[in-house]
A and B are shown apart, each in its own frame.
Chain A
Amino acid sequence: MLETDAGLVGRVRRGDLDAYGAVIARHQGRLHAAAWHLLGDEEAARDAVQETFIEAYRHLDQLRDPSRLGSWLYGILRHRAFAWLASRRPTVSWDEEGAEEWYRADGPEQRMDPTDLLARLPDEDRDVLAARYLLELSYDEIAALLKISNQAARVRVCRAKSRLRALLAGAEKEVEP
C-alpha cells in the first residue's frame, strides 16, 4: 500500500532520509510543472524545486498538518518563485492584446510551445492555476495558501480559468485565419 504523506513526514522527522527521497519522488513532478508555469523557465524551475525541497526539509518541523504536505511544498515554492520574479523583472500587467501581439510577432513555430503563451497570464492567475490544475489542491488549501476565504478562492479560480480561456481563445484566433 502506498504510504501517506503524513506517514512519510513522520519517518523523515525521525531521521529517515529514504522517506524524504520518497517524498521528493512523489511531489517533484507536480512541483516542477508548477515552478515552470510560475517562472516560465525550465531551468529556473528545476533550481526552484531543488531549493524548495531543501528548504522544506530544513523546516519540516513547522509543517503542522503533514497530510497537507503538497500544499505546504507549493507554498514554499510559490514564495520563492514570486520573490525571485519580483527581483528579476518589473511587474508586467496583463493584457490580451499583448498576448495577441506576441503571437503575431513570434511567428507560428513559437506558438507550438504553449508554456510561453501560458507564462503571459498574470502572476495571480498563474499561481491559482498551478495550485488548482497542476498541484490539484482543493479550494480550502488554496484559500489557506493565499490567506483568503474559501469563497474568495472559488472566485479567484473561476477568474483565472476565464482568463485562461480568453488567452487560449486569443491564441487560436491567431492560428485559424
Chain B
Amino acid sequence: MTREMPCPDWEARLSAYQDGEATPRERIAVEAHLANCAGCRAALAQLEADRDRFTEAYASSYPDVSEYVLQKVRAMSQPQQSNTPTPLLRWLVGFSAAAVLVCLALVVAVFTEPRETPVMVYAPDGSVDREYGAYSYTVNGPLRADDLPYKPYGAKRSYAKRPMERDLFAVPSPTFDATFARKPAPAPIGFAGDLSGASDMLYDPTTGRNYGITGGLKMVYDVGYALQVRNALKAGREGSALIRKHGGFVIDFTYAGDEGQIPVATVRGKVPAKEAKATLDALEKMGRVSGVTLNGEDLTPQFLQYMEEMEKKIKTAEKLGNISDRNRYWETLSAEQSRHWAEQQAAQNKRAMLEVVTKSSLVEITATFAEGRPMESFGMAQFFSLMRAILITLLVVLAAVATLFALVALIVAPVVLLRRRGTVKEAPAAEV
C-alpha cells in the first residue's frame, strides 16, 4: 500500500474538509474536485485511514480516575474556608475600599467647597429678596454662573397690570415678546422656551444676544439689571451718568458696602423709551450680567385706537372747514385755505401726539451693581469652573467603577472563598 498525496493545492482544503471545517464554498469546491481527481479521493481516504489508525492506537481501556479525583476533591473542599482571602479577592476588596474612600473624600471636598455668601438684594419694587441661588424674574444679584438661566428654575413670570403710561411702538406686533436671557449665555438650544413656558419668546442662539426689548416688545415700564462689576460704587456712579446721558433721570441711588458683605450699588432711574435699548446696551458693557428683570405690557391696540380717533377728528374738521370752536375765526377763510390749514393742523397734531407719547414713555431702569469678578472672557473663574466640572466627571466615573468593583467583589467573594487555591497559570510542572 502506498501513501497517497493529494494535489498540493488541495491539501489544506482536503484536511479542513475531512475535519468538517471547510466553509460551504470550499466544501462545494472540494466535492467537485474529488469527483474529478482520483489522487485526491485516495488522499482523503488515506487521511481517514490515518485518523483511524491514530485513534485506534489510543483506544484501549483507560484507568478510571474518578474515584481518586473525587476523594482528593472532597478532601480539599472541606477545610480552609475563609482564613485568608485569595490574592484576587484581597485585591478586589482592597481596591473597592480604597476607591470608595477616595470617592467619599472627593465628594466631601467638592461639595463642601465654600459657596458665595448670599447677598441681600433690593428688588426693583423695593421688596427684599434674600433667596440666593434660585432664579426668579424679580431677583437680582451676583448669582453664580451655574445658578443662572441655563437651567429652568420653574420661576413664575408675571406681568403686573398697570395703567397705560407709555408706549414703545416702533414695531407693530400683536403679541408681547420678551426674552429673558443672560447676555453671554452659551446658547443652550431651547433654553428660552424652557424658562417661562411662554411660547413666543425671542432668543437668537447664534448671537446669544437678547435684551428683552426686542422687536415685538411694545412697552416696557421697568427693566432690572443685575451686574457683577469690579467696583460697585464706581459702577453705580457710571450707571447714573449713563441714564442721564440718555436723556433720563435718576430717581435714587443706594450703596451698601458694609463690612463682610459684598458691596452693592443700586441705581434706579428713568429713560425715554426710545433710549432704553441704547441705555441697556451700554449698561451691559459695564459688567457681567447676572440677572434681568422686565415688566411690560402690549399697548398697541390702545395706541391704534387713539390714532384712529385722532384721524377721524381731523377728517371731520377738514370736511367742515373748521377745526374747533376755539378757531371760529377761520371760518371766514376760503375752503382752499381751510383745507390747507386743516392738513397742517392734522400733521401737527399727529407729530404732537407722537411726541407726547414718546416723551411720556419713560422706561424705569434699575441697575444693581454687585462687586465680583466680571467674566467677560475666559478667565480664572471659567478655568476653575471647568476644572470643577472635570473633577466632578472624574469623580462620577470613579464612583461608577468603585461601585462596579464592589458589586463584583460582592458576587465573586463567596465563589472565590469556596474555591480558593493557587492559580492554574502559575502551576508548576505536573508531577505525573
Contact = CB atoms under 8 A, between A and B. Distances in A.
A61 B418 CA distance: 10
Interface string B44-56: 0011001101111
A50 B1 contact: no
Q: How large is the interface on A (under 10, 10 to 19, 20 to 34, 35 or more residues)?
A: 35 or more
Contacts of A53: 65-66, 69, 73
Interface string A9-31: 00001010100110011001100
A92 B337 CA distance: 134
Question: How big is the B interface, by class?
Answer: 35 or more
B161 interface: no
B427 interface: yes
Nearest to A87: B429
A50 B69 contact: yes
A15 B414 CA distance: 12
Contact of B3 (A24, A44, A168): A168
A62 B421 CA distance: 12
A86 B421 contact: no
- Highest count of chain B CB atoms <10 Å: which of A45, A59, A118: A59
Interface string A48-74: 111111110111111000000000000
B29 interface: no
B432 A48 contact: yes
B107 interface: no
A115 interface: yes
B105 interface: no
A166 B47 CA distance: 11
Contacts of A51: 430-432
A133 B432 contact: no
A57 B416 contact: no
A55 B431 CA distance: 12
B430 A59 contact: no
A21 B54 contact: no
Nearest to B72: A54
User: Which of B11, B54, B68, B421 has the most CB atoms of chain A within a 10 A radius of its CB?
Assistant: B54
A52 B73 CA distance: 12
B70 interface: yes
A139 interface: yes
B19 interface: yes
16 contacts: A17-B73, A24-B65, A32-B62, A46-B65, A47-B431, A51-B430, A53-B65, A61-B415, A83-B428, A84-B431, A84-B432, A129-B54, A139-B19, A155-B12, A158-B12, A168-B53
The 10 closest A-B pairs by CB, nearest first: A80-B430, A83-B429, A33-B58, A169-B3, A32-B62, A47-B432, A114-B57, A158-B15, A24-B66, A58-B421
